[in-house]
Amino acid sequence: MPISTPSDPVPATDTWTTQPGLSPGTPVFVGERKLDQARIQILDYTRARLDEYNDVNSDDCRRLRASDSVTWVNVGGLHDVGLITEIASVFELHPLTLEDIVNSTQRPKVEEYDDYLFIALKMLRYNAERNAVEIEHISLILGQGFVLTFLEDGGDVFDAVRRRIRLKKGRIRGQGPDYLCYALADAVVDHYFLALEQFGDYIESLDEAILDSPQTSHIQEIHRLKRDAIRVRKAVWPLREEIGFLDKSDSPLIAPETGIYMRDLYDHIVQTIEMVEGYRDILASLHDTSLSTVSQRLNEVMKLLTMIATIFIPLTFIVGVYGMNFRHMPELEWSWGYFLIWGLMILIALGMVIQFKRRGWW
Amino acid sequence: MPISTPSDPVPATDTWTTQPGLSPGTPVFVGERKLDQARIQILDYTRARLDEYNDVNSDDCRRLRASDSVTWVNVGGLHDVGLITEIASVFELHPLTLEDIVNSTQRPKVEEYDDYLFIALKMLRYNAERNAVEIEHISLILGQGFVLTFLEDGGDVFDAVRRRIRLKKGRIRGQGPDYLCYALADAVVDHYFLALEQFGDYIESLDEAILDSPQTSHIQEIHRLKRDAIRVRKAVWPLREEIGFLDKSDSPLIAPETGIYMRDLYDHIVQTIEMVEGYRDILASLHDTSLSTVSQRLNEVMKLLTMIATIFIPLTFIVGVYGMNFRHMPELEWSWGYFLIWGLMILIALGMVIQFKRRGWW
Amino acid sequence: MPISTPSDPVPATDTWTTQPGLSPGTPVFVGERKLDQARIQILDYTRARLDEYNDVNSDDCRRLRASDSVTWVNVGGLHDVGLITEIASVFELHPLTLEDIVNSTQRPKVEEYDDYLFIALKMLRYNAERNAVEIEHISLILGQGFVLTFLEDGGDVFDAVRRRIRLKKGRIRGQGPDYLCYALADAVVDHYFLALEQFGDYIESLDEAILDSPQTSHIQEIHRLKRDAIRVRKAVWPLREEIGFLDKSDSPLIAPETGIYMRDLYDHIVQTIEMVEGYRDILASLHDTSLSTVSQRLNEVMKLLTMIATIFIPLTFIVGVYGMNFRHMPELEWSWGYFLIWGLMILIALGMVIQFKRRGWW
Amino acid sequence: MPISTPSDPVPATDTWTTQPGLSPGTPVFVGERKLDQARIQILDYTRARLDEYNDVNSDDCRRLRASDSVTWVNVGGLHDVGLITEIASVFELHPLTLEDIVNSTQRPKVEEYDDYLFIALKMLRYNAERNAVEIEHISLILGQGFVLTFLEDGGDVFDAVRRRIRLKKGRIRGQGPDYLCYALADAVVDHYFLALEQFGDYIESLDEAILDSPQTSHIQEIHRLKRDAIRVRKAVWPLREEIGFLDKSDSPLIAPETGIYMRDLYDHIVQTIEMVEGYRDILASLHDTSLSTVSQRLNEVMKLLTMIATIFIPLTFIVGVYGMNFRHMPELEWSWGYFLIWGLMILIALGMVIQFKRRGWW
Amino acid sequence: MPISTPSDPVPATDTWTTQPGLSPGTPVFVGERKLDQARIQILDYTRARLDEYNDVNSDDCRRLRASDSVTWVNVGGLHDVGLITEIASVFELHPLTLEDIVNSTQRPKVEEYDDYLFIALKMLRYNAERNAVEIEHISLILGQGFVLTFLEDGGDVFDAVRRRIRLKKGRIRGQGPDYLCYALADAVVDHYFLALEQFGDYIESLDEAILDSPQTSHIQEIHRLKRDAIRVRKAVWPLREEIGFLDKSDSPLIAPETGIYMRDLYDHIVQTIEMVEGYRDILASLHDTSLSTVSQRLNEVMKLLTMIATIFIPLTFIVGVYGMNFRHMPELEWSWGYFLIWGLMILIALGMVIQFKRRGWW
């Protein structure tokens, strides 16, 4: 894919370092490399035809961009900054957009530029082995006649959308790039529900385990889940405002009939946020409950043991008394002294047990 | 009820699966089946006449829709997606609406479409056996001359409204579909109060039980109620914003004189939310109180037991002293030694009890 | 007071039941009956003259309403729904207003109807015996030339206003019904301060009692006060928004020069809310403090007792050693053995006490 | 200072009582008398001249008010309601303003009247002996050509402003009453910083004391400071909104070039609020930390003592065994039995200590 | 640098004291002196040329200000109030601006003056030795053709920007002072991420240490970090509103094409705030977790020790019994009595251990 060096708005690659004070708009890949090799996949379609390309150069891109069809360029792998810079120059992206695409710590946002819309999203995926939610950075760009998507990995998130395009299912083939953009965002948000439901199920199972027999390790697990919930919240929360802004925006890139879908997307995001907030509330309550349950079971044990000790204390005193070596201890001489003492001790023990039971301590 | 396959805006049934990335607007039933057989019931009335239908086909529906009367179609059971799709096609509902009707996890909302208003609500019902609030999904659609309602079960929620229509009670028969829609929503919200009052009574009784004699199991019960309150809050909270929006909206479907009723509905919803928030605050305070009461009663027991032990400790030491076998222990030879020691020990015990009492520990 | 059955907008009395799904606008008395017999009292005044009526029929009401004077109708006792319905029909109140008047669980609100303003308020009264705030429902209606007030009991809240009208004190006699309405609301809000100050004094006294010698029962008292504060907050909070709305409203019923008084009322309500919020914060802090003080005093006791036990443990061991019956125990034969052992034990005890003191534990 | 009785809008003094239901606008002094004798001090200046008066009657006031100069009337002592009523009648203040001036529990606010602006403020003063913040009520009134200030005491807060006027320092002499009013409010807010910094220093020193050696009394001290912070917050918080409102207001009393100073004042108030909020956060964290530190040190002590007890328990058992009086106990006959047992006991004790150390308990 | 005394708007130096009531706009240096000698550094550039000055007098400044180029005056060291007053007079700064520049406790803000924009920022720097975030005060002033920066120290924060200007990297040389101002603010905000990431790493490492083996000192460390987070939050939080305001402002000083960069800056600040809030949430959760882990480990130890004691208590009682000196104790005469008793005791001990294990206590 040998193309000419990037044109003016994109800085030269040799300036790509990470120190602050860097010229704004300098793209620096931040994150861990999830694919060995960055991949580009293009779907170009109208209602009538569909072309797929897997190996393209920038001239192809330029040509497809110019065509009347809807062009969807999907880039997997954000570490190949050179490749992404090329694409950016073909589609005339602003340097700041370029910086946001490759920075996987970028928070979700929607930005209107003169001739395109930039949407940064997070993908949530539940890792059932680690019982943790994994977060990935996704960028969508909606322009005149094209949609660009940038993912950290190959992007099976979008497989279902791809299938719908190929099979002409639903209304997607007859619609413009705005609908495609919505469908892609919707696919991402649908995954949120999937991930959050699994997360919720795990909390549920933890809840049951704790009510059953709380353990110290549960406290630490709850702490871990709380941190996860904080991370997920940070990934989803900003979207509310941003997609709401999109809903109200009058960008010429979004047809009025797509607006209704945007509202639906907004609605889903709000529901996601409510789920996360609900989990946080439940985890907080669970922490308190598990803590108090653990500590109260412990206390109950201590109380029982202490009562046992308390019963024996006077008995041990009594046997001590008759272990004394005084010359004159009349009881010692009595024939039935020993047995009388046993009787006394049994009476005392019984009396204490009865007392404890009556007070509801035992 | 054999009708033609759904027309264009509604996708074919064979695409109904649950994986994400599904074409938006695809109806997928999410929830548990609460009725064996979905049921349709239609009330068609003007001020002068009232017709009821229980078994209808889509042509009947079309005809009733076209008539001048108010047509109320009530569908019980959301699992029969085919049936609902049919009705949707008769009343020309948007695919997204269809999706929201059958998805029982949909959050409450109000949406204005071009020629109808969609209201998603939750029904609250207090289950006195499990002492828990149960939540059901209800959809209301207000169109030109008709109201559609979709419930998970047969919907005795609406029985009172039905009776009022049949008996011509109140003003309902003389009003349009907007008033019917309000009356139905109002019936749902009235049930909120019923459910929440029972919920509140249960919290009240728990409160008394805890102040009386707190137990470890109470903590877990409070945790369960907190989770319930979180669920209820999620079901009611979004309505505030949505019905408030309706109140301010200038939809031609709602006559100005019905607006005042909408304001009343809004007011009831706000009151419901305040009740839930109040319960949450009370539960939080109750958790703290019960926790500290349990732990302090325990501590008091421990303190008492420890004081008993403390009294015996020096006594046991003393009897130990005179159990020693030293050759030269003058006290042992004294005639009154044994009785003197008893006297000493009684003095010590009394002294300690007095000390404890004086310090307010006993 | 036998009048004709209520006219159209008001439903017949036989439909007054409490089940949900009731026709909206049906008045149902909710609350406990606080007066044996509902009472009506009317003050009709201009700057020049003042007439008082205590026993009236609806024709009188109609006549007074039509006159140019300011007519204040005060109804004590909400359980006589028939009576209130009559009055409502004379003053042409909307059925929803009627419902709100008799429902004593109605939250505070302000509603503009076509030709009158409806204000629902709560009255706060501090019960010094139970140390609790009692809440009563009050409705004010401001119409063209008249003010209606509905109270659960006879309403000594308004006595001061009545006296001012009779004595021509202040500016009240020269003003219209809007000023009267303000004066009545102001009298209610002035009572808030009274009730809240007494409430605050009780918290203050509890605070001092706790810092002095905290007890378990204090925790439960704090819980009760927290619940009270939640109730009071619910009764006062909604007024902020509502009276603020009134302040900004341009209702023709409120003369501009009365607006400045409404602003003052708003200001007082905000101050009331801040007081309640302050109490809640203080109660929360007090709960924590009392809890930790109680538990630490207990712990200190336990520590002291444990140290006493710890001192005796080695001593008891030592006397046990010399209580052993081994044939060859050289120390037992020593003449001064017994006294040496006493010396050793005293040394050990002293050493431990010194250690404890030095470490600051004692 | 004998003047005619107050004119119409101000009620006669004999009606000044405290019961609610009082005619609104009735001035009632609420607070504790801080000065024996109320004092009036007037500064009347233009850029060129400055006149000071200390003993004035109302005719003087009227004359000064009518003059072109800037007239600043400072009244110290709010308990002399008669005097304040006089001044109010000279400057034609609204009765509600009069009520707010003498009510020292009035919350901070800004109110625009037809021909003057009323500002109620709180003065904060740190009492280094009691380590508490004291709060005083201050009212500022900005009218056409005059500024009135009312303080609970003589008002050394304003000394610096007075000096600047006398010495012609800064820009104050060349400016109108709006700048004077700003300068006075600014002097008050400057004192906030002073008081809050001392408050913060005390929290800081408490923090260090607690980290050093936490004590039970610290918990109560934190509780006291929390209550103080709540009081201070209530005194400062409302100003934010009010001064912000002033900043945006287009009152003809405030010249545009003074607006920039108002913005600066707003900025200072926001900073003050942030300081208070920060202190509250720190106190909350400090409470938790001190609580857990105290309780953990205690627990450590208990653990140590318990371990000591645990070591002696088996030893005491062993010596008990050889104190038994069985006829046939072979060990007792052994010559080295006693010494062997000592050796065994030392081994057991050592073993346990080693175990404890290895597990990190000791 | 001997220049004429400051002109009118700037007060004379002899009035610089710290007491409140000072003439507003009086610059008073508040903070600790971080540089021995204040330094001025000027960069004056157009796209074509770049001049640097290190030793300037005010006439130079005036000349540079008048020129067409972009003039960046960087002042290091805020304690030399005389010097800063000079510069302020050259660039005609408002006295309030001057006050804000030298007051290092000034909260962040943006203020529009007639012919310049004033931005107060905080610089965050992570001190890896003390594991704490250090905060410094920075002021930016954007005027027609010039940018002024005031720092507490020499300002290596801006080194990267300086380098970019010198090397003509990026777009900075071809842009106006608004872009320079943005670039400088951006450099500061970039440092936020650096500092916060190191802060986050330290929290992370503390988290691991606590989960591994929690200690009492960790609680205090968390307290310290919480206080740090509160300080950082106070330094960053106000910027959100302020920069957002700048984004929406239509100041002629900011070219529309720079607006997009301002939006990006806003976005970064929001992300910073979310990081800080996230850290606060994590610290709160960590506090709870570490507290409960510490206390539960302790409790477990106590439980174990108590169980050991409990096992020995009946055994000690038994040996006490057979240490009694009654004349008639049949068991003592049995030949195998001693060994039977040993057997009994071993049985009891085993039975208790089994019980404990079965109940899951051990």
Q: For B274-285, how does the pLDDT look when each residue is reduced to its tens digit (9 = 90+)?
A: 899 999 989 988
Q: Which amino acid is at D55?
A: D
Nearest Cα residue to A290 out of C160, B287, B26, D266? B287
Out of A89-98, E11-20, E119-128, pick the least confident.
E11-20
Q: For C9-26, how does the pLDDT look when each residue is reduced to its tens digit (9 = 90+)?
A: 333 333 333 445 567 677
For C219, the enclosing helix (H) or strand (E) is helix C216-248
User: What pLDDT band is residue B150 in, cutting at 50, 70 and 90?
Assistant: very high
User: What pLDDT band is residue E149 in, cutting at 50, 70 and 90?
Assistant: very high
Residues of D in contact with C263 (CB under 8 A): 111
Please state, rounded to an integer, the average pLDDT across all residues of chain B.
83
Cα nearest neighbour of B100 on chain A? A264
pLDDT: which is higher, D347 or A33: D347
- For range C185-207, the mean pLDDT: 90
| Contact state of E306 with A308 under an 8 Å Cβ cutoff | no
What integer pLDDT is reported at residue B20 of this predicted model? Answer: 58
Nearest Cα residue to C114 out of C291, C251, C315? C251
Nearest Cα residue to B25 out of B123, B118, B144, B152? B118
Out of B54-58, B320-324, C193-197, pick the least confident.
B54-58
| Contact state of B20 with A320 under an 8 Å Cβ cutoff | no
Tell me if B43 sits within 8 A of B72, measured CB to CB: yes
What integer pLDDT is reported at residue D354 of this predicted model? Answer: 93
Strand partners, D111: D118
Longest dimension (CA), chain D: 120
What integer pLDDT is reported at residue C1 of this predicted model? Answer: 34
| Contact state of A325 with B320 under an 8 Å Cβ cutoff | no
Q: For B75-86, how does the pLDDT look when each residue is reduced to its tens digit (9 = 90+)?
A: 888 888 888 888
CATH of domain C39-292: 3.30.460.20
Instruction: Give the sheet arrangement for strand D146-151, strand by strand.
Output: D50-53, D39-45, D70-76, D146-151, D132-143, D116-127, D109-112
Q: Which two tokens stand for residue C116?
A: 């009158």
Q: Which two tokens stand for residue D59?
A: 């005719």
Instruction: Per residue of chain A (362 residues), give pLDDT as tens.
Output: 333 333 333 333 333 334 455 676 777 777 766 667 778 889 999 888 888 888 777 788 888 888 888 999 998 888 888 888 888 888 999 888 988 898 888 888 888 888 899 999 999 989 888 889 999 999 999 999 899 999 887 667 888 888 888 888 777 888 889 999 999 998 999 889 889 999 999 999 999 888 887 777 888 899 999 999 988 988 888 888 888 777 777 788 888 888 788 888 888 898 899 899 999 989 988 988 888 887 777 778 888 888 888 898 889 888 888 888 888 888 888 888 888 889 999 999 999 999 989 988 77
pLDDT: which is higher, E55 or E280: E280
Is the ipTM above a cut-off of 0.95? no
What integer pLDDT is reported at residue B5 of this predicted model? Answer: 34
- The percent of residues above 70 in pLDDT, for chain B, comes to 91
Residue C133 falls in which region: left (phi positive, over 0), alpha (psi -120 to 50) or beta: beta
Could you give the CA distance from residue C133 to residue C196 in angstroms, rounded to a whole number?
A: 8
Chain A: list its partners (3+ Cβ pairs within 8 Å).
B, E
What integer pLDDT is reported at residue B17 of this predicted model? Answer: 33
Tell me if A232 sits within 8 A of A124, measured CB to CB: yes
Could you give the CA distance from residue B208 to residue B211 in angstroms, rounded to a whole number?
A: 5
DSSP at E29? -
Could you give the CA distance from residue D146 to residue D67 in angstroms, rounded to a whole number?
A: 10
Residue A172 distance to chain E (closest CA, Å): 33
pLDDT: which is higher, B184 or A247: B184
Does residue E18 have a pLDDT over 50? no
Nearest Cα residue to E106 out of E181, E37, E29? E29
- For range E297-316, the mean pLDDT: 85
Cα nearest neighbour of A361 on chain B? B301
| Contact state of D298 with C299 under an 8 Å Cβ cutoff | yes
- For range B84-99, the mean pLDDT: 89
Cα nearest neighbour of A290 on chain E? E292
Residues of D in contact with E11 (CB under 8 A): 169-170
Cα nearest neighbour of E182 on chain A? A24
Nearest Cα residue to E288 out of A295, A284, B230, B282? A284
Residues of A in contact with E348 (CB under 8 A): none
pLDDT: which is higher, C346 or B13: C346
Q: Which single residue is written with the structure tokens 């609900």?
A: A278
User: What pLDDT band is residue E11 in, cutting at 50, 70 and 90?
Assistant: very low
When scoring A319, A321, A325 by the number of chain E Cβ atoms within 10 A, the one with the most, hence best to mutate, is A319
Nearest Cα residue to A121 out of A103, A133, A113, A109? A109
pLDDT: which is higher, B3 or D307: D307
Q: Which two tokens stand for residue C160?
A: 């001061």
Q: What does DSSP say about strands C132-143 and C116-127: parallel, antiparallel, or unpaired?
A: antiparallel
What integer pLDDT is reported at residue D81 of this predicted model? Answer: 85
| Contact state of B213 with A360 under an 8 Å Cβ cutoff | yes
Up-side HSE of residue D323: CA atoms within 13 Å toward CB? 34
What integer pLDDT is reported at residue A202 of this predicted model? Answer: 93
Could you give the CA distance from residue C248 to residue D226 in angstroms, rounded to a whole number?
A: 36
Out of A11-15, B55-59, B63-67, B306-310, pick the least confident.
A11-15
| Cα B106 → chain centroid | 16
Residues 6 or more apart in contact with residue B168 via CB below 8 angstroms: none
User: What pLDDT band is residue B16 in, cutting at 50, 70 and 90?
Assistant: very low
DSSP at A30? B
- For range B325-343, the mean pLDDT: 85
User: What pLDDT band is residue B10 in, cutting at 50, 70 and 90?
Assistant: very low
Cα nearest neighbour of C293 on chain D? D216
| Contact state of D320 with E324 under an 8 Å Cβ cutoff | no
What integer pLDDT is reported at residue D149 of this predicted model? Answer: 92
CA-derived radius of gyration, chain A: 35
Nearest Cα residue to A126 out of A240, A221, A203? A203
Out of A38-42, D246-250, E194-198, E296-300, pick the least confident.
D246-250
What integer pLDDT is reported at residue E9 of this predicted model? Answer: 36
| Contact state of B329 with C338 under an 8 Å Cβ cutoff | yes
- The percent of residues above 70 in pLDDT, for chain D, comes to 91
- Can you say whether the dihedral through the CA atoms of C17, C19, C23, C26 is positive or negative? positive
CA-derived radius of gyration, chain B: 35
Could you give the CA distance from residue B316 to residue A312 in angstroms, rounded to a whole number?
A: 12
- For range D160-176, the mean pLDDT: 84
Up-side HSE of residue B43: CA atoms within 13 Å toward CB? 22
What integer pLDDT is reported at residue D346 of this predicted model? Answer: 93
pLDDT: which is higher, A357 or C250: A357
Strand partners, C132: C127
Q: Which amino acid is at C72?
A: W
- For range C104-129, the mean pLDDT: 88
Q: Which single residue is written with the structure tokens 């004294």?
A: B334
Q: How many CB atoms lie within 10 A of CB C294?
A: 21
Nearest Cα residue to A91 out of A180, A28, A151, A10? A10
Could you give the CA distance from residue D295 to residue D300 in angstroms, rounded to a whole number?
A: 9
Could you give the CA distance from residue B247 to residue B267 in angstroms, rounded to a whole number?
A: 11
Residues 6 or more apart in contact with residue A63 via CB below 8 angstroms: none
Q: Which two tokens stand for residue E154?
A: 């020499």
Tell me if B234 sits within 8 A of A282, measured CB to CB: no
User: What pLDDT band is residue E141 in, cutting at 50, 70 and 90?
Assistant: very high
- The percent of residues above 90 in pLDDT, for chain B, comes to 18
Cα nearest neighbour of D359 on chain E? E301
Q: For E156-175, how does the pLDDT look when each residue is reduced to its tens digit (9 = 90+)?
A: 788 888 888 888 877 788 88
Residue C34 CB burial class (10 angstroms; 0-12, 13-18, ≥19): middle
Chain D: list its partners (3+ Cβ pairs within 8 Å).
C, E
Please state, rounded to an integer, the average pLDDT across all residues of chain D.
83
Of D261, D313, D321, the CB nearest to E319: D321
Residues 6 or more apart in contact with residue C219 via CB below 8 angstroms: B289, B292, B293, B296, C287, C290, C291, C294
What integer pLDDT is reported at residue A17 of this predicted model? Answer: 33
What integer pLDDT is reported at residue E16 of this predicted model? Answer: 32
Phi, psi of A163 (to 5 degrees): -60, -45
| Contact state of B216 with A296 under an 8 Å Cβ cutoff | yes
- The percent of residues above 70 in pLDDT, for chain C, comes to 91
What integer pLDDT is reported at residue C118 of this predicted model? Answer: 92
Length of chain B (residues)? 362
Residue B171 distance to chain C (closest CA, Å): 8
Q: How many CB atoms lie within 10 A of CB D231?
A: 18
Of A267, A313, A327, the CB nearest to B332: A327
Strand partners, E151: E76, E138
Of A19, A113, A319, the CB nearest to E317: A319
Tell me if E152 sits within 8 A of E136, measured CB to CB: yes
Q: Which residue spans within chain D are E strands per DSSP?
A: 39-45, 50-53, 70-76, 109-112, 116-127, 132-143, 146-151
pLDDT: which is higher, B163 or C38: B163
Could you give the CA distance from residue C149 to residue C136 in angstroms, rounded to a whole number?
A: 13
- The percent of residues above 70 in pLDDT, for chain E, comes to 91
What integer pLDDT is reported at residue E139 of this predicted model? Answer: 92
- For range E52-77, the mean pLDDT: 85
What integer pLDDT is reported at residue C343 of this predicted model? Answer: 92
Tell me if E198 sits within 8 A of E220, measured CB to CB: no
Out of C247-261, E135-149, E281-295, pick the least confident.
C247-261
Q: How many CB atoms lie within 10 A of CB D45?
A: 19
DSSP at D271? H
Residue B242 distance to chain A (closest CA, Å): 12
Q: Which single residue is written with the structure tokens 């000690």?
A: E316
- For range B202-217, the mean pLDDT: 85
Q: Where are the domains of chain C?
A: 39-292, 322-358
Cα(first)–Cα(last) distance of chain B, in Å?
Answer: 80
What integer pLDDT is reported at residue C154 of this predicted model? Answer: 62
Could you give the CA distance from residue A335 to residue A215 in angstroms, rounded to a whole number?
A: 55
